Amino acid sequence: MKLFGEKAFLVEWPAEVDESILYDILAFTEHLRSNQLDAALWELVPAYNSLVLICREKIENPDQLKKQLKAWYLDVKGRIPVKRQRWKLPVCYDPEFGIDLEMVANTLNLTASRIIELHTEPIYTVYGIGFLPGFMYLGGLADDLIIPRKETPRLRVPKGSVGLAGQQTGIYPQESPGGWNIIGNCPIPIFRVEESKPCFVNVGDRIQFYPINRAAYDLYKIETQVGIYKIEHTIVDV
Amino acid sequence: MFKVLEPGFFTTIQDAGRYGLRDKGVPWSGYMDVKSAQIANSLLENKPEDAVLEITMTGPILQFEAPAFIALSGAEMPASINERSIPNNEVCRVEIGDVLSFGKLKNGFRSYLAIKGGIQSRKVLGSRSYFKSLTDKDRIILGDEIPYNPFNDFHPKISSIKTNSHLKKQHLDVRLGPEFSALDKASTEQLFSTAFTIAKEHNRMAYQLQEKISPHKISMITSANLPGTVQLTPSGKLIILMRDGQTTGGYPRILQLDENSISILAQKKFGDQIYFTEV
């Protein structure tokens, strides 16, 4: 546990990408959020093997807080973590959206349909949210889909693009520059500014993709716009 | 409201920021130079979090459509109402039809225009601060009409102040960052003994520095960043995250600026020099 500037604490776990570490962090995070720290003053940012606690004001007595945090951690250590959501998200892999799908297929020596199978098979874990509002760092990509990011990033990757880069897969929540290989598009917005809770996904949730055709894509897009699309989700034990 | 006759180089609406969504990837945003924005707001006896215009490098031309009281603080870019020049850090009254314009930047980089009662634009997720991808715009544009509540009568307790200006300060107070200890001796010495120059690449997200320190192979797992975090890229380049900076990152966090130093840096531009001082 380290003081990080004058306003934050960094708590670190062993440097591994491991679900049990993530869920230990999340149990601690939830405990702090619901019982110990004033939400108006503190923001808690968990990711992979770390938790950063950021105060809006200067931390007056860091040594005392450090002791207190340790005690709070011991309250929950080993406790069964809270239940998580598993979200099923549709992806249209049509060439119109999956602009790199053919190139990826050639590079990996797989057919496009095999790539779609490999991409929709796993249940991914959300290890963090950052980079852009609503951008999920997903763990659990099939080894066969590991491909380097593009040498020259695109200036504009469309919103909803689903990409591959290294050991990662993810969705661009907004249009942005980016170097990932784009294989499809998800019509469901991950981040919606007009909602009071703008991002339905939490760190620790699970994500599964399923393929849809172009007609379903258009339908879901319209249903989302008028607010009647219901994202398929179930509560899962972790 | 006031009407934008010319937008200037990069002018945004900013308040104290957007809180509670860092774990969803949303940076706080808000005034880059908090100190100057607060001076302008406090002269008008506004709330410390009231929304102001943040004016970058060159000023806009604005026309007021209702009486108001305004105050400017931060960078020196000589302003005038109609043809009459108005100083920074002083309360000024404006009448219907008055036009506010700015001269050439003399010192600093960001100027703050506060208005009595605060700018009343629409809030997005609890804040009026512009941030690309959340707000409709990322800067004001020609023809925008920016709302405020008219004020006819206001007797400020203090009409002007002399500030102990931070515009010319070059020393940034830093604490050692979480990955500082992974640096070699030569790099740490270089960090605290040499001047660094602001690179061309600087904006509300981050300031890059021209001089590099030694390349490194420190690898780390993605973790949260803060405004004022100094990141080190593998090639030895230093990137200082600012108010719109990404909430998470995978580069070693070698230093952390304190709040006041973020305000100092916010007034720097390409070619300016800074030093890191450990506190």
pLDDT digits (tens, 9 = 90+) for B15-39: 999 999 999 999 999 999 999 999 9
Residue A134 contacts B, CB cutoff 8 Å: yes
Q: Per-residue pLDDT averaged across A116-132, rounded? A: 96
When scoring B15, B18, B24, B261 by the number of chain A Cβ atoms within 10 A, the one with the most, hence best to mutate, is B24
Domain with CATH 2.40.100.10 in chain B: 171-278
Of A214, A180, A210, nearest to A99 by C-alpha is A180
Q: What is the mean pLDDT of residues A27-53?
A: 92
Chain A interface includes B177 (CB < 8 A): yes
**Mean pLDDT calculated for residue range B3-26:** 97
In whole angstroms, what is the distance from residue B248 CA to residue A49 CA? Answer: 13
pLDDT band at B118 (very low <50, low <70, confident <90, very high): very high
The first and second tokens of residue B159, run together, are 């009409």
Which DSSP category does A13 fall into? -
pLDDT of residue B133: 85
Angle at CA B179, nearest 5°, toward B173 and B185? Answer: 80
The confidence band for A149, taking pLDDT boundaries of 50, 70 and 90, is confident
Nearest to A128 among B133, B248, B258 (CB): B248
Give the β-pairing of B171-176 and B273-278: parallel
A43 touches chain B (CB under 8 A): yes
pLDDT above 70 for A121: yes
| Cβ–Cβ contact A41 with B under 8 A | no
The interface predicted TM-score of the complex, written ipTM, equals: 0.93
| Interface touch B224/A47, C-beta < 8 Å | yes
By the CB < 8 Å criterion, does A21 face chain B? no
Give the closest-approach CA distance of B263 to chain A in angstroms: 15
Residue-level pLDDT at B55: 98
Question: Which residues of B fall within a CB distance of 8 Å from A171?
Answer: none
Q: Does A65 touch chain B (CB under 8 A)?
A: no
Distance from CA of B223 to the nearest CA of A (A): 6
**CA B56/CA B211 separation, integer angstroms:** 24
Q: Report residue A238 as tokens.
A: 């972790």
> What local confidence, expressed as pLDDT, does residue A150 receive?
87
Fold designation for B171-278: Cyclophilin (2.40.100)
Least CA distance to A176: which residue of chain B?
A: B133
The chain-wide mean pLDDT, for chain A, equals 93
Asked if B257 has any chain A CB less than 8 Å from its own CB, the reply is yes
In Å, how far from its chain's centre is CA B76? Answer: 14
User: Which of the residue ranges A64-78, A108-122, B113-127, B171-185 would you say has the lowest mean pLDDT?
Assistant: A64-78
Tell me: the pLDDT tens digits for B144-168?
999 999 999 999 998 888 877 899 9
State residue A46 phi and psi, 5-degree precision: -85, 145
Do residues B72 and B185 make contact, with C-beta atoms less than 8 angstroms apart? Answer: no
**Residue B259: which pLDDT band, with cuts at 50, 70 and 90?**
very high
From chain B, pick out residues whose CB is under 8 angstroms from the CB of A173. 25
Fold for the domain defined by B2-146: Jelly Rolls (2.60.120)
Contact B250, B174 (CB under 8 A): no
Is the pLDDT at A140 greater than 70? The verdict is yes
Q: B73: Cβ–Cβ under 8 A, 6 or more apart, which residues?
A: B36, B37, B39, B40, B43, B88, B89, B111, B112, B114, B163
B19 touches chain A (CB under 8 A): yes
Closest to A26 (Cα-Cα) out of A1, A44, A8, A43:
A44
Cα A143 from Cα A133, distance rounded (Å): 27
Q: Which candidate from B25, B224, B249 shows the least CB-CB separation from A132?
A: B25
A204 contacts A125 by C-beta, under 8 angstroms: yes
Contact of B26 with chain A, judged by CB distance below 8 Å, is answered with yes
Express each pLDDT in A196-219 by its tens digit: 899 999 999 999 999 999 999 999
What is the rounded average pLDDT for all residues in chain B? 96
pTM: 0.94
Closest CA to A137 of A87, A205, A191, A54: A205
Mutate to test the interface with B, among A1, A3, A10 (most CBs of B within 10 A): A10
Sequence ranges of chain B with CATH classification 2.60.120: 2-146
Strand order in the sheet with A42-47: A2-4, A8-12, A50-55, A42-47
Domains of chain A, start order: 2-76 (3.30.1360.40), 84-236 (2.40.100.10)
Q: Which residue has the higher pLDDT, A80 or B193?
A: B193
Average pLDDT over residues A112-119: 97
